[in-house]
Homo-oligomer: A and B are copies of this chain.
Amino acid sequence: MSEDLGKLVDQIAHMDPDHEGEEQKVIAVQTEALDERQLALLLEALPLEDRLQQWGRISDAQKPLVLVELKNDARLSILNNQSESELEGLFSELSPEELIECSDNLPDSLIDLALNQMDQKQRLHFESSNQFEENCIGRYADHELLVLPQNAKVFDAWRLLRREVPECTDALFLTDRVGRYAGTVPFEQLYGAPGHIPLAELIDEEAEALPGDTLLFDSVEVQEQSGYVLLPIIDAKGMLIGRMTFKDSVQILREKHEADMLAQAGLSEDEDLFSPIIKSSLRRATWLGINLLTAFLASWAIGLFEATLQQVVALAVLMPIVASMGGIAGSQTLTLIIRGIALGQISRGNLGPLMIKELWVGGLNGVFWSAVIGGIAYVWFSDVMIGVVIAVAIALNILAAAVSGVLIPVILDKFKIDPALSGSVILTTVTDVVGFVTFLGLGTLLLLNP
């Protein structure tokens, strides 16, 4: 499927825009077969001009669905290029759930436009979702619920089920008179139950309701453990406000994965392939600036040994090797510990044994690679002492990397800073500085003629 998308991008790029020919019909047929997620991916893959043209070819019914799927930057690039009347048409079609999904970074005027088109019930749904933060499950509650009053009977349930069952539904919810959640009745309890039995007797006591302020990632866990396809979401007063389905779980995990991968390079999850140049540049500049500070620290460490470098230029040549080996070894430990922290596996109780194990692993690799690199350096510069200096420096730096790899994420986590984001910058700074200082320091001691 993803290959087809690439081909389509190709065809659109090579299309003659001034000539409505056979080619364009082929493209039109192919895009019609795409669902909203694929259409969003296609639009994001196109430079602005082509993107707007393809957007114009999407049916009015699909446009709101595609809008929701687009990344923020891509969505804004399209909205900024629509006329007033086009925007009105588009925003009068949005459901409360869709409006919430794309409400970040949206001008208030557009949100008001959409709200004005909604009926009272839809507006209430929007308000109910909008009370929750962006990282809470309540914000993304789906309002297609099967709900019955607490005193309803089995035949009431059947009457409801015969009318229509929303997608991905394997239970119905009961509420009290004011709308507070009162229990979950799995459909399977209905099969074979006599019609006059009160539904309250069929409630699954183990089924839990999800408070709306549950963090997205935590709610995936709750759902996975529940064994239910959908979970009721309640607000602080216990009112049933919506449901979370397994599709939400899949989407949350997918987006978390993407965001984590991008964050490691200091990129925003809003960024798409053709985000505006100025916006992209500014966002990326921050990360470059942070890394520049650490690079200057490394330079400063080297600067302490200017006199040594002047006399033994081989040290300058070999410097990157010491820094690189420490950085790589450290990032291996760091990654393992970060995963452990994310899974809740790290505590004061196992920190000691973990450190010992990582020091052993670092020690073994340190000894082995020191010997290899020391040997190569000796042959390269025909100087035994240079081999010794780099071998010792590398062994020490790999051990320092093991210690930092364990401690840095644990300390960051203590201070509530996400180690996945900043851990590797700090680690590299440590291994760079330790590496340069030990290497050049040893060089000063052992290689300089007094």
Q: Does A224 contact B (CB under 8 A)?
A: yes
A277 is contacted by which of B13, B162, B361 (Cβ under 8 Å)?
A: B361
> Is A102 part of the binding interface, using a Cβ–Cβ cutoff of 8 Å?
no
Q: Which of A93-101, A113-121, A233-241, A246-254 contacts B (4 or more CB under 8 A)?
A: A246-254
Q: Assuming A6-B344, A329-B284, is B265 touching A296 (CB within 8 A)?
A: no
Residues of A within 8 A of B (CB): 1-7, 9-14, 35, 37, 41-42, 44-47, 158, 161-162, 165, 167-170, 187-188, 191-192, 218, 220-221, 224-225, 227-229, 246-247, 249-250, 253-254, 256-258, 260-262, 264-267, 271, 273-274, 277-278, 280-281, 284-285, 287-289, 291-292, 294-296, 298-299, 302-303, 306, 309-310, 313-314, 316-321, 323-325, 328-329, 331-332, 334-336, 338-340, 342-350, 353-354, 357, 360-361, 364-365, 368-369, 372-373, 376, 432
List 23 contacting pairs A-B, 8 Å CB cutoff, sorted by A.
Answer: A6-B345, A9-B345, A12-B349, A13-B348, A13-B349, A41-B344, A46-B350, A161-B188, A165-B188, A224-B250, A229-B229, A250-B253, A257-B260, A267-B332, A267-B335, A277-B360, A289-B369, A292-B321, A294-B324, A296-B376, A298-B324, A299-B318, A302-B316
CA distance A354 to B9 in the complex (A): 12
Known: A161-B191, A319-B316. A44 touches B348 (CB 8 A): no
Q: Which residue of B lies closest to A247 (CB)?
A: B224
Q: Report the separation of the CA atoms of residues A246 and B111 in the bound assembly, to the nearest whole angstrom.
A: 34
- The answer, among B6, B191, B266, B376, for a CB contact under 8 Å with A162, is B191
Using A250-B249, A257-B260, A357-B277 as known contacts, say yes or no to A328 and B161 having CB atoms under 8 A apart: no
Which residues of chain B come closer than 8 Å to A289, judged between CB atoms? Answer: 369
Chain B residues with Cβ below 8 Å from A281 are 360-361, 364-365
